[in-house]
Amino acid sequence: MNQIARSERAMVKRRAFSWVWRFAVLAIILGLLSTIIFRATVIDLYHIDSNSMQPTLNPGQSIAVDRRAYRDAPPQRGDVIVFDGRGSFLPYARAGFADDLLGAFSLAGTGSKYVKRVIGIGGDTVECKGSNCQITVNGQPISEPYIFAGNAPSDQEFSVKVPEGRLWVMGDHRSASKDSRSLLGASGGGMISVDRVTGKATSIAWPLSQKAAIN
């Protein structure tokens, strides 16, 4: 009888352990799925690895990207955005269905992602002319307090008409930024398609000591 009782207790323990193990695995899977869905539909994170947006953003920081920001309205002038550079900043790279699907769920790498500031939107004429090369939009000079100290608004002159559904973007660290100016002669003319925008950069999330809103 004792042997039978011990055998039954061992079986009960094995069953209990099996259920605990199954529950733990299920909890992990559900947690991962929830994180993926949250990052794909609400808030994503993007790691800054270049100095092209200094002083607004610095290498080593991670920023929160609101994926809901442009559901009802397109990006506006002055917004800091994260976008997929394939077909514009990476003119010879094309995204397939699988790439887009992985990107939508934040499962793809960030090698094709860029963060820049919107200067011109569809229909705008963006220009930089003269010795001071102050940037104008539709003939009106714009205030740019975010530009890196000591930088001119641009080190090259340009005059562009932004097509509808496209964006003219620039980095805040103008002398160190590869942006729309660098690609004027490339496929797409350096203009970003609105449908390649991932979301709006809203805040610095990491390090916590540098947490701040992005303006």
**Which residues form the catalytic set?**
52, 116
Q: Mapped to the 3 state alphabet, what secondary structure does the chain carry?
A: CHHHHHHHHHHHHHHHHHHHHHHHHHHHHHHHHHHHHHHHHCEEEEECCCCCCCCCCCCCCEEEEECCCCCCCCCCCCCEEEEECECCCECCCCCCHHHHHHHHCCCCCCCCEEEEEEEECCCCEEEECCCCCCEEECCEECCCCCCCCCCCCCCCCEEEECCCCEEEEECCCHHHCCCHHHHCCCHHHHCEEHHHEEEEEEEEEECHHHCEECC
Contact 191, 168 (CB under 8 A): yes
- Rounded to whole angstroms, the Cα distance separating 39 from 152 reads 36
The amino acid present at 174, given as its one-letter code, is R
Expressed in angstroms, the distance from the first to the final Cα of the chain is 76
Task: Kindly state the tokens that stand for 79.
Answer: 């917004």
